[in-house]
A and B are shown apart, each in its own frame.
Chain A
Amino acid sequence: MGSDDLWYKDAIFYELPVKAYSDANGDGIGDFSGLTGRLDHLQDLGVDCIWVLPMYPSPFRDDGYDISDYYGIHPSYGSLDDFRAFLDTAHARGLKVLTELVVNHTSDAHPWFVEARNNPDSPRRDWYVWSDTDDRYHGVRIIFSDTERSNWAWDPVSKAHYWHRFFSHQPDLNYDNPTVREEMWNIMRFWLELGVDGFRVDAVPYLIEREGTSCENLPETHEVLKFLRRRLDEHFPGRVLLAEANMWPEDVQPYFAEGDEFHMAFHFPIMPRMFMALRLEDRKPLEEIFERTPAIPDSCQWALFLRNHDELTLEMVTNVERDYMYEQYARDPVARINLGIRHRLAPLLEGDRRRIELMNGLLMSLPGTPVLYYGDEIGMGDNIYLGDRNGVRTPMQWTGGWNAGFSTADPERLYQPLIQNPVYGYQAVNVESQRRQENSLLNWMKRLIRGRKSTRVFSRGGIEFLRPANHRVLAYVRALDHEKVLVVNNLSSTAQAVELDLRALAGAIPIEMFGRSLFPRINESPYVLTLGPYDFFWFRLRWL
């Protein structure tokens, strides 16, 4: 694999729902033409790869993750030609594009399922998982526990039960059927030939079911995924697969396999621990999760994020930790959904600019590829009263004018109302005003991203944690070949002094990476630093 084929290691990813980004045709729903017109913003921010949430035709009972046609574009978002134009424009600007690949299930409105339920003798019947009873695979956990009572749903048409790990309107595909695998590859090939640079593959642990198991992470599931990767490498080298598998890192590790399954996978458990460490003012949760994070093949990479289109998931924490997180970050019970919290980044951190900066500083300096969520670069707020997780999917706030510059439609026609409160409303928080303020969060984010991209140490280097006596300070050295960066974070709301044992780096001159100020040379003595509340330093170490 060539060095350029590892682009995903150095890239900054940016996740966005097309419907929420920009509406070019004035129908109140964002579309690809609108998105194409906003690529300046992404390029200016320093983004390298756009991850587009599902854009396929869909009844939209799960925000597009219930696909009814894998080969099309939802009419609200435009046409295939609009998508092509978006892709070409993005590529011309050096931006890559990842789309969603929902492999586990389809919508119950998909013609495959309609045919399967209407005609038990149809070849499509075996594309789904059917049972006469609902007691097979007993004990398998229910993921959407707030809404679903069973993983089986009764189909009154064909008078049988069908298997679904998510909503009951999302029947699982049957990957024991080789035709289904081939069809999924055909879908991938269709989009790859159009030029997409890879897929974020949804819900990967659940592809295969076996009696007496959890029906998750089965060896047969890995075989399916390896089959798809093999085809990808054969026909489209340099394209990427990013796994969504909300699990402990040691359980995700097999999805990298020997570097022949997924290129990337989200590291879910880090995220809540970043929030927890911040609230506890203690680095312990983060150190612990990194201790249990196994090594992965050189060609692979973790994807890190602070927030995304879903709830801040608390699946990968203990009950005690979850209670603490709810108490600290979701006192209003309405903010809680499934096993998580449906807030955006800024409201989670009470709009505290210092904490937002520190969290983004951690995101950009810990090992992995950072994935930003649209709107978080300007500190957008949310609306937890919109139901499901729609509150973090409100229209992007471009300006302080009509519909926040998102759409020319009547405000009542927008797919969802804008955030309008005085703190996070679009008049107060928008791209245009932040672009004009030198010290805005947006401009600060640009500088942070530039800093991150000024060296490959962050994207490709190793990490070694220092363990100073002051537990409020999280310090680590990122290293790649001869290049080294020292990162020191104050997780506390108060100023802190810390003594670092840097004898192994004696002789180095620390250069603060944003202001480029010189700090005293490191020697055999403890290195004393003082940090303001939620302060952090990135020091490039030079031996001169």
Chain B
Amino acid sequence: MSPPSILSDDLLRQLMAVGQVDIMVGVPTLNNAATVGAVVQAAHFAFGNHFARERTVLINSDGGSSDGTPDIVREASRVESETVLAAHSLRTRHRISAPYHGVPGKGTALRTLFAAADLLQARAVAILDPEITSITPDGVFALLGPVLRDGVDFVSPAYARHPLDGPLVSQLVRPLFRAAYGRRLHEPMAADLGCSGTFAASCLEEAVWESDFARYGIDLWLSCAAVAGGFRMAEAALGPRTLGPRVARPGLQELFPQVVGSLFSCLEMHEAFWAGRTGSEAVPLLGEAPAVAGPAPPVERASLIEAFRTGVTDLGPLLEQVLSPETLEALHALSRAEGVITYPDRLWVATVMEFAAAHYRGVMHRQHLLQALVPLYLGRLAAFHARAEEVGVDATERALEALGESFEEAKPHLLGLWNKEGGR
């Protein structure tokens, strides 16, 4: 009995017609008609402006859109203005739009794209998020160029963002990733990326594609796999990031366990890699260092604090199973405080690490555990916002750097909890 195919026969036939390529741009979609056109056009212009001689293909791997996304992709690829471009491709530009097989989700779409890249022997691959409409032809070039030119295997974007934008990344994902994996990446779970064909092929060999990772945490897993696999990495400055309108985005209660659960699971998967490492190193940044861009996102600080207090009170018995008495006591003290709370870095780092270790050791159902961290995260978010408001943008940037250092310094604490007897 042969294993089920990743690639449909229709897609394979189209790949046969394309043959070997130098560059592949992949766009995974699911009902992205409103935004995907701009993304595809950026890729298309990048082919003309930057890769006139290279063999290129754009592949849209679609999860069964009902809003005409594949049609938009096809139309956007047919740029009538090509003839007036100063530089245009010398070769046929191939574009393919094909539905993917398997469990719906980005993982399946990516697996399809990586399999196509492997078959086409693509030297460089860019994966573009159909919702990030700020991507430009130069941005596409920035993701692909280092792979073709410098032999980089994994290019992660660095966006110009406000330090309070994307707090789940800045407060938890980025610093924990930094401490564990020893690399300072701006966006460890970026949806846009560039990579080598070698990296894509190696990812295909990993046993993650049938797991929950594939649905919720594949972007994060790719960064982790790049570091753990010893691949050469770089960051590309892409400027500000703009997300197009979308019908519905998952709320924090849904998103938080997906993201944080994925990161905790990555730690478990790559334990042999990170456990013995200390310190961190920056990943080479290509292009201008990302500046602060955009306004601070608004938050309802009072409701965050209320959620924190309620959580600490209601989830007390559950938190007792996860947190050390010192951490728990400090949280109770915080929850009893009047007005604006102060959630210090040291306490936040301890909270996260104790949850990560408890996740690893399976002290309770993992979904329950991750949900229990949400109110604590909201408390930390409220506290950080309050402090940022006082100190300004530059100091907030520095505070985020200091948070990263605190996570690094506390890594022995994480290891101690991880290896604690009586666990798994």
Question: Cβ of B120: which chain A residues have Cβ within 8 Å of it?
Answer: 518
Question: Cβ of A505: which chain B residues have Cβ within 8 Å of it?
Answer: 2
Docked-complex contact A542 and B12, CB < 8 angstroms: no
Docked-complex contact B119 and A518, CB < 8 angstroms: yes
Contact code string A77-96 (vs B, CB < 8 Å = 1, else 0): 00000000000000000000
Q: A511-B119, A544-B115, A544-B119 are in contact. Are A518 and B2 (CB under 8 A)?
A: no
Q: A511-B119, A544-B118, A544-B119 are in contact. Are A517 and B19 (CB under 8 A)?
A: yes
Does B424 lie at the interface of the complex (its beta carbon under 8 Å from any beta carbon of A)? Answer: no
Please provide the chain B residues from 1 to 43 with a CB less than 8 Å away from any CB of chain A in the complex.
Answer: 2-7, 9, 12-13, 15-16, 19-20
- The number of chain A residues touching the other chain, given as a range, is 10 to 19
Docked-complex contact A508 and B12, CB < 8 angstroms: no
Which of A507, A511, A521 makes the CB contact (< 8 A) with B3?
A507
Docked pose: A133 CA to B336 CA in angstroms: 116
Docked-complex contact A543 and B20, CB < 8 angstroms: no
Which of B3, B5, B6, B19 makes the CB contact (< 8 A) with A518?
B19
Please provide the chain A residues from 467 to 523 with a CB less than 8 Å away from any CB of chain B in the complex.
Answer: 505-509, 511, 515-521
Docked pose: A505 CA to B9 CA in angstroms: 15
Docked-complex contact B5 and A543, CB < 8 angstroms: yes
B350 to chain A, nearest CB (A): 45
Does B49 lie at the interface of the complex (its beta carbon under 8 Å from any beta carbon of A)? Answer: no
Does B371 lie at the interface of the complex (its beta carbon under 8 Å from any beta carbon of A)? Answer: no
Please provide the chain B residues from 194 to 249 with a CB less than 8 Å away from any CB of chain A in the complex.
Answer: 204
Question: Cβ of A509: which chain B residues have Cβ within 8 Å of it?
Answer: 7, 12, 119
- In the complex, the chain B residue whose C-beta lies closest to that of A508 is B2
Q: A507-B2, A544-B5 are in contact. Are A521 and B12 (CB under 8 A)?
A: yes
Docked-complex contact B12 and A543, CB < 8 angstroms: no
- In the complex, the chain A residue whose C-beta lies closest to that of B18 is A518
Among B2, B12, B118, max chain A CB count under 10 A is at B2
- Interface residues of B, count at CB 8 A: 19
Question: Cβ of B12: which chain A residues have Cβ within 8 Å of it?
Answer: 509, 518, 520-521
B412 to chain A, nearest CB (A): 38
Docked-complex contact B20 and A519, CB < 8 angstroms: no
A483 to chain B, nearest CB (A): 12
Question: Cβ of A508: which chain B residues have Cβ within 8 Å of it?
Answer: 2
A506 to chain B, nearest CB (A): 5
Which of A516, A521, A542, A543 makes the CB contact (< 8 A) with B9?
A521
Does B121 lie at the interface of the complex (its beta carbon under 8 Å from any beta carbon of A)? Answer: yes
- In the complex, the chain B residue whose C-beta lies closest to that of A505 is B2
Question: Cβ of B3: which chain A residues have Cβ within 8 Å of it?
Answer: 507, 543
B117 to chain A, nearest CB (A): 11
Docked-complex contact A506 and B2, CB < 8 angstroms: yes
Please provide the chain B residues from 362 to 407 with a CB less than 8 Å away from any CB of chain A in the complex.
Answer: none
Question: Cβ of B118: which chain A residues have Cβ within 8 Å of it?
Answer: 542, 544
Among B4, B12, B204, max chain A CB count under 10 A is at B12
Docked-complex contact B2 and A544, CB < 8 angstroms: no
Q: A509-B12, A516-B20 are in contact. Are A521 and B119 (CB under 8 A)?
A: no
Docked pose: A300 CA to B380 CA in angstroms: 66
Question: Cβ of A516: which chain B residues have Cβ within 8 Å of it?
Answer: 20, 121
Among A506, A507, A518, max chain B CB count under 10 A is at A518
Docked pose: A484 CA to B16 CA in angstroms: 20
- In the complex, the chain B residue whose C-beta lies closest to that of A506 is B2
Question: Cβ of B13: which chain A residues have Cβ within 8 Å of it?
Answer: 520
Docked-complex contact A543 and B2, CB < 8 angstroms: yes
Docked pose: A506 CA to B3 CA in angstroms: 9
- In the complex, the chain A residue whose C-beta lies closest to that of B112 is A544
Which of A506, A507, A520, A542 makes the CB contact (< 8 A) with B119?
A542
Docked pose: A507 CA to B19 CA in angstroms: 19
Docked-complex contact B16 and A517, CB < 8 angstroms: yes
Question: Cβ of A542: which chain B residues have Cβ within 8 Å of it?
Answer: 118-119
- In the complex, the chain A residue whose C-beta lies closest to that of B114 is A544
B404 to chain A, nearest CB (A): 39
Docked pose: A519 CA to B3 CA in angstroms: 19
Docked-complex contact B15 and A518, CB < 8 angstroms: yes
Docked-complex contact B19 and A544, CB < 8 angstroms: no
B303 to chain A, nearest CB (A): 48
Please provide the chain B residues from 55 to 92 with a CB less than 8 Å away from any CB of chain A in the complex.
Answer: none
Question: Cβ of A544: which chain B residues have Cβ within 8 Å of it?
Answer: 5-7, 115, 118-119, 204
- In the complex, the chain A residue whose C-beta lies closest to that of B204 is A544
Question: Cβ of B119: which chain A residues have Cβ within 8 Å of it?
Answer: 509, 511, 518, 542, 544
- In the complex, the chain A residue whose C-beta lies closest to that of B19 is A517
Docked pose: A398 CA to B4 CA in angstroms: 53
B209 to chain A, nearest CB (A): 11
Docked-complex contact B16 and A519, CB < 8 angstroms: yes
Among B7, B118, B120, max chain A CB count under 10 A is at B7
Please provide the chain B residues from 344 to 371 with a CB less than 8 Å away from any CB of chain A in the complex.
Answer: none
Question: Cβ of A511: which chain B residues have Cβ within 8 Å of it?
Answer: 119
B253 to chain A, nearest CB (A): 37
Docked pose: A508 CA to B5 CA in angstroms: 8
- In the complex, the chain A residue whose C-beta lies closest to that of B119 is A518
Docked pose: A507 CA to B12 CA in angstroms: 11
Docked pose: A200 CA to B356 CA in angstroms: 61
Docked pose: A110 CA to B2 CA in angstroms: 64
Docked pose: A515 CA to B4 CA in angstroms: 26
Question: Cβ of B20: which chain A residues have Cβ within 8 Å of it?
Answer: 515-517
Docked pose: A520 CA to B13 CA in angstroms: 7
Docked pose: A84 CA to B20 CA in angstroms: 46
Docked pose: A518 CA to B16 CA in angstroms: 5
Docked pose: A511 CA to B13 CA in angstroms: 13
Contact code string A44-76 (vs B, CB < 8 Å = 1, else 0): 000000000000000000000000000000000
Question: Cβ of B9: which chain A residues have Cβ within 8 Å of it?
Answer: 521
Docked pose: A517 CA to B12 CA in angstroms: 12
Docked pose: A407 CA to B4 CA in angstroms: 62
Question: Cβ of A515: which chain B residues have Cβ within 8 Å of it?
Answer: 20
Docked pose: A246 CA to B5 CA in angstroms: 48
B218 to chain A, nearest CB (A): 18
Question: Cβ of A520: which chain B residues have Cβ within 8 Å of it?
Answer: 12-13, 16
- In the complex, the chain B residue whose C-beta lies closest to that of A543 is B3
A502 to chain B, nearest CB (A): 11
Docked pose: A519 CA to B16 CA in angstroms: 7
Question: Cβ of B19: which chain A residues have Cβ within 8 Å of it?
Answer: 517-518
Contact code string B103-146 (vs A, CB < 8 Å = 1, else 0): 00000000000010011110000000000000000000000000
Question: Cβ of A517: which chain B residues have Cβ within 8 Å of it?
Answer: 16, 19-20
Please provide the chain A residues from 364 to 397 with a CB less than 8 Å away from any CB of chain B in the complex.
Answer: none
Question: Cβ of A521: which chain B residues have Cβ within 8 Å of it?
Answer: 5, 9, 12
Question: Cβ of A543: which chain B residues have Cβ within 8 Å of it?
Answer: 2-3, 5
A229 to chain B, nearest CB (A): 39
Docked pose: A509 CA to B6 CA in angstroms: 11
Docked-complex contact A507 and B5, CB < 8 angstroms: yes
Docked pose: A511 CA to B118 CA in angstroms: 11
B380 to chain A, nearest CB (A): 44
- In the complex, the chain A residue whose C-beta lies closest to that of B5 is A507
Docked pose: A126 CA to B151 CA in angstroms: 68
Question: Cβ of B4: which chain A residues have Cβ within 8 Å of it?
Answer: 507
Docked pose: A51 CA to B151 CA in angstroms: 38
Docked pose: A329 CA to B2 CA in angstroms: 46
- In the complex, the chain A residue whose C-beta lies closest to that of B116 is A544
A123 to chain B, nearest CB (A): 63
Top 10 A-B residue pairs of the complex, sorted by shortest distance between their CB atoms = A507-B2, A544-B115, A518-B16, A544-B6, A516-B121, A544-B7, A506-B2, A543-B3, A516-B20, A521-B12
12 contacts between A and B (CB under 8 A): A505-B2, A507-B2, A507-B3, A507-B5, A508-B2, A518-B15, A518-B119, A518-B120, A520-B16, A521-B9, A543-B2, A544-B6
Binding site for A on B (CB under 8 A): 2-7, 9, 12-13, 15-16, 19-20, 115, 118-121, 204
Known: A507-B5, A543-B2. 20 other contacts (CB 8 A): A506-B2, A507-B2, A507-B4, A508-B2, A509-B12, A509-B119, A511-B119, A515-B20, A516-B121, A517-B20, A518-B16, A518-B19, A519-B16, A520-B13, A521-B5, A521-B9, A543-B3, A544-B6, A544-B118, A544-B204
